[in-house]
Structure 1
Amino acid sequence: MKRRSLPFNPARGLIYLLSALFLAILVLPISTMGQVYPPNFKFIKVPNPLSGDNPIYPLIARTVPAPGQSFTDSRFSTVQTRITQSSTLRHEYSRFDPFNCQRTLLLLLDSSTSEWRVYRTQSLPYDQPANLVRTINNLAELRWDPQDSDILWGFRDFSIIKLNVETGAETLVKDFAADPVISPILLANPLIYHVTCMNEGESSRDKRFWALALQNGDDPAHPEWSYIYKYLFTWDRLQNQVLGTYPLSLAQGQRLDWVGMSTLGNWVLIAGESEAGVPPNWGLLMASKDFSVLHELHQNTGHADVGLDSRGREVIVMQNAQTDYVDLIPLDLQAKPVNSPADYNNNVIKPLVFLYYNSESPISMNSTGIHISCNYSGYALVSTYIQPNLTDRNWLDRCFILVRLDPNKVRAVYLAKTYNTTQQYWEETHGTISNDGSRIVWVDNWGQSVTEPQMPQLTLTQLDMPPHWQNQFTPPMPPVLSLLLGD
């Protein structure tokens, strides 16, 4: 019997062609900005992140890359690029993704003028004059919109503003000076001069829920209240409703570090510092949006970031100065403060990484400090910074690692060595991972640190993650099992 041929279908033919091209691309080496990831690229695993003694990879000397130059990490073979040429431009902080949602624009801060600058990322280095989109000097705490690639959100006085960086058009989102709940507070406290998240807190990811502080200005009659935070409040953008207010005592206002929302907007995070013998107990707190529930997570607040763990639960990942661990802290009323290693027992708070600060040990950390970035769900980037003339004697010194936020199995990989040394604040690395997990950015002065009041010699380094890197933490399920589970 002769097989009947099917009629030609142009759409089906196009699908076959595109499928073939896709498969061909998959088997080719991955090229990023002139450098290549081999198809079988593997991260180097950290054998035991909970140990102070893991393999040490000393820094290998290399020349400072030219602006726009790509290179591979001498130890871990990750693809990196020097993306800036200016010596004063940098991203703001580890907690915030400097790229817009399409990675076509980059938000930088000029450390010499405190001006914000938006650059296109169409050509390297990103900060060349032809890429400049806009300079901004009249908005504070700028954050990208999660969906609109042209929109930045920021504060001005008592208002939340949206700025279209392409057109310069502003949209007033909310003026709290005209709000029926906040306006009476401002009338009773005429020295309060703005709303703020204190540069570290943030709204919920979808920009619906906001937790804000009201800060006092100069108060000659009561100098102890000068520039002290006097109130916290929460706001629901969709309902245009203040959900709760919380007046602060002088001690609370003096020891407030930041305030913000959890990633999904279920909880308020209040980051304070307790002082022995001085009430109230005012460390890291989670609070309901109306402030009727206040639950202590830790007696103090270290470097931290909010995010989601591997199961999609809201967490905060924080350096614990009492135990020298980086802790995975679920936003759960069952969480109990950890002040000693024994407190991890029967607790939902779990240690992730051990920071081996022991001056008597030959392998203790020389790093001055760390920062944490949880912008990509399920993972935390831990970056370190170090003072000049100190060697990397511990496995974490001059290192960036990526940790999976799995409370049942701690896993981490080495990402990069940094040549940066820190004497000024702006020279701290502040490693940050993008919201989509595709890239990592940090400051690197390549050992050219200078003392105050000289301006720092800054460059920005971008590490491009290899495709499907997540499979190295969680290998994909076999197709049959995936179908059975409905994935």
Structure 2
Amino acid sequence: MTFHPRALAPLLIAAAMSLGLPTAGGQQSSVSAQFTAPVTMDLPDYLRPATDPAFGTVFTRITKPGVLGNGIACGEKYCSHRYSSAQAWNADQSLLVITNGCNGMCFFDGQTYAPLFRRNRSDQCEWHPRNADLMICVQDRKISTWAPRTNREDVLFVATNYNELRFGPSKGNPSRDGDRIAVRAIRADGAMVVFAYDLNQRRKFPDIDLAQLAGNNSACTISPLGTNILCFQDLSDGTEQRGIFAVDGTLRQRWTEHHRPGHGDLTIDEDGSEVYVGISKADPDKYQVIKRRLSDGKVTSLMKFGEAEHASLRALGRPSWAFLSYGGNPDEISANPDWAPYAREVIALRIDGSGEVRRIVQTRNAPFDYWSETHASPSPDGSQVIWSSNWGVPGGPVHEFVARLDWAEESGSKQKEIVANDPH
């Protein structure tokens, strides 16, 4: 009797469990991995936990088109978290925010995913990484902290010589302690500038004129330690370059290679260095997942050529793991054994260069448009991962899912918490 790979995978998982062997997903780490064919699965019911038949990971669909309750409603086309490098959960994971396709900023229980309340805000807000009650918000001329539950806002800074203040836009995060952010703005003389702002000290750092970099700026963000600002520049020839400044305005690095890397996120490496992890689109590591050190631009390849689309380092409690969203055509991936063997999957990759991987879930997400991209992003402790999928229907509704991970075996010496000295 011959089994089709789609039928065989669940049988192998069941056999492993019956023998007491670890299954994949949140249960197993592996340095070497083989291509796993997509396993057919019906769209899970809303708020009903399901098990991925390929990797044994438990996950839940947390949105659906229409009214969800408590004033929250999802659009017919998509309803999802903002982006892979944006944190969806607050610091203690009691709240989860959905913004794309929802009727406002929609807040859910961070553990049960029940809809709780919504708020109407037009500014850019990101969770404070340590204070679970607060978000950090930037709009037009002001910087503030805001408590979504109580709707209380405390204004920290009002600009008199600037307008169009932006938190990023879109790709901005606070420093890991929540004290500093990078703010892009238009100065009164018309110059586009970026500056660091310390929320705790209510201190604005010097303007950095972005005209000194080639191209047009698309976003800037503060580094995890709050000492550097990374800026993204778009050139007319389609090249995407990077510039790294110290918060005092000193230009430290120019990365002139196209998108090397991009679609990524910042973290602190095991040696205390700040690194940007993402996908390269330039030689010599084109379409590989790489990390690049902010201090000197040193590049380390982390995963071979493949279809990785986005990297997230939002699991601040597990800075040595990058969470990767893979797209691609499974037939093409299986036909190229020298490529990274992941197609339409979410995986976690250890960034120490060992190649150690935790396969989390098959997304069953058919390529269509930006809103249907997977954009996986972990919770602060890495125990949950949020991701999007149209469930194999191009142009169909994009649903939001959360997978649960078990990191019990990582509690030993292999998992090291990075404790950096206070850079301020």
Mapping for residues 70-469 of structure 1, pairs under 5 Å: 70-86=49-65, 87=76, 88-111=78-101, 115-121=104-110, 123=112, 126-127=113-114, 131-140=115-124, 142-177=125-160, 183=161, 186=162, 192-215=163-186, 230-249=192-211, 252=214, 255-274=216-235, 283-301=241-259, 302-322=262-282, 323-324=285-286, 325-333=288-296, 335=297, 348-356=298-306, 367=307, 370-376=309-315, 377-386=319-328, 393=334, 395-407=341-353, 409-450=354-395, 457-469=397-409
Give the AA of the match of 1:198. Answer: P
Give the AA of the match of 1:397. Answer: A
C-alpha displacement at 1:110, in angstroms? 3.8
The whole-number CA distance in structure 2 between the counterparts of 1:97 and 1:145 is 9
SS in 1 for 2:36: coil
Classify 1:176/1:40 alpha carbon distance in 2 versus 1 (closer, same or farther; 3 Å). Answer: farther
C-alpha displacement at 1:47, in angstroms? 4.3
Give the AA of the match of 1:161. Answer: S
Structure 2 segments unaligned to the other structure (5+ residues): 1-16, 66-75, 417-424
SS in 1 for 2:45: coil
Give the AA of the match of 1:148. Answer: N
C-alpha displacement at 1:210, in angstroms? 2.0
Report if the CA contact (8 A) 1:152-1:165 is conserved.
yes
The whole-number CA distance in structure 2 between the counterparts of 1:457 and 1:55 is 31
C-alpha displacement at 1:329, in angstroms? 1.2
C-alpha displacement at 1:441, in angstroms? 0.9
Give the AA of the match of 1:330. Answer: R
Report if the CA contact (8 A) 1:110-1:117 is conserved.
no
Classify 1:69/1:152 alpha carbon distance in 2 versus 1 (closer, same or farther; 3 Å). Answer: same
Classify 1:472/1:255 alpha carbon distance in 2 versus 1 (closer, same or farther; 3 Å). Answer: farther
Q: Percent identity?
A: 20
SS in 1 for 2:205: strand
C-alpha displacement at 1:318, in angstroms? 1.9
Give the AA of the match of 2:250. Answer: S
Report if the CA contact (8 A) 1:195-1:215 is conserved.
no
1:278-330 CA distances to partner (integer Å, 9 max, x unpaired)?
A: 9xx98212211111233124523321100122344321102111122111112
1:17-66 CA distances to partner (integer Å, 9 max, x unpaired)?
A: xxxxxxxxxxxxxxxxxxx9998635355545xxxxx5110101111110
Give the AA of the match of 1:402. Answer: A
The whole-number CA distance in structure 2 between the counterparts of 1:85 and 1:198 is 28
The whole-number CA distance in structure 2 between the counterparts of 1:396 and 1:233 is 39
The whole-number CA distance in structure 2 between the counterparts of 1:288 and 1:110 is 33
1:417-454 CA distances to partner (integer Å, 9 max, x unpaired)?
A: 1111131211110001111111111001211221xxxx
Classify 1:434/1:37 alpha carbon distance in 2 versus 1 (closer, same or farther; 3 Å). Answer: farther
SS in 1 for 2:343: coil
Classify 1:429/1:37 alpha carbon distance in 2 versus 1 (closer, same or farther; 3 Å). Answer: farther
Report if the CA contact (8 A) 1:404-1:473 is conserved.
no
The whole-number CA distance in structure 1 between the counterparts of 2:205 and 2:120 is 31
The whole-number CA distance in structure 2 between the counterparts of 1:138 and 1:447 is 33
Which of 58, 68, 71 lines up with 2:37 in the alignment? Answer: 58
1:218-277 CA distances to partner (integer Å, 9 max, x unpaired)?
A: xxxxxxx9xxx711222233333322212233984x52222011111121111223566x
The whole-number CA distance in structure 2 between the counterparts of 1:122 and 1:295 is 41
1:55-88 CA distances to partner (integer Å, 9 max, x unpaired)?
A: 1101011111100121222111122122223353
1:317-371 CA distances to partner (integer Å, 9 max, x unpaired)?
A: 02111122111112223x3xxxxxxxxxxxx421001124xxxxxxxxxx5x510
C-alpha displacement at 1:216, in angstroms? 8.6
The whole-number CA distance in structure 1 between the counterparts of 2:80 and 2:376 is 11
Give the AA of the match of 1:137. Answer: R
Report if the CA contact (8 A) 2:265-2:276 is conserved.
yes
Report if the CA contact (8 A) 1:392-1:398 is conserved.
no
Classify 1:289/1:314 alpha carbon distance in 2 versus 1 (closer, same or farther; 3 Å). Answer: same
SS in 2 for 1:316: strand
Classify 1:236/1:167 alpha carbon distance in 2 versus 1 (closer, same or farther; 3 Å). Answer: closer
Classify 1:101/1:38 alpha carbon distance in 2 versus 1 (closer, same or farther; 3 Å). Answer: farther
Report if the CA contact (8 A) 1:246-1:291 is conserved.
yes
The whole-number CA distance in structure 2 between the counterparts of 1:89 and 1:136 is 16
Classify 1:401/1:202 alpha carbon distance in 2 versus 1 (closer, same or farther; 3 Å). Answer: same
Classify 1:273/1:475 alpha carbon distance in 2 versus 1 (closer, same or farther; 3 Å). Answer: closer
Report if the CA contact (8 A) 2:182-2:195 is conserved.
yes
1:453-473 CA distances to partner (integer Å, 9 max, x unpaired)?
A: xxx512111111114242599
Classify 1:46/1:472 alpha carbon distance in 2 versus 1 (closer, same or farther; 3 Å). Answer: farther
The whole-number CA distance in structure 1 between the counterparts of 2:47 and 2:380 is 23
The whole-number CA distance in structure 2 between the counterparts of 1:385 and 1:282 is 21
Residue in 2 aligned with 1:9? none
Mapping for residues 23-34 of structure 1, pairs under 5 Å: none
Classify 1:237/1:166 alpha carbon distance in 2 versus 1 (closer, same or farther; 3 Å). Answer: closer
The whole-number CA distance in structure 1 between the counterparts of 2:256 and 2:249 is 18
Classify 1:98/1:105 alpha carbon distance in 2 versus 1 (closer, same or farther; 3 Å). Answer: same
Residue in 2 aligned with 1:18? none
SS in 1 for 2:99: strand
457-466 vs 243-252, which moves further? 243-252
Give the AA of the match of 2:22. Answer: F
Residue in 1 aligned with 2:73? none
The whole-number CA distance in structure 2 between the counterparts of 1:298 and 1:436 is 34
Give the AA of the match of 2:139. Answer: R
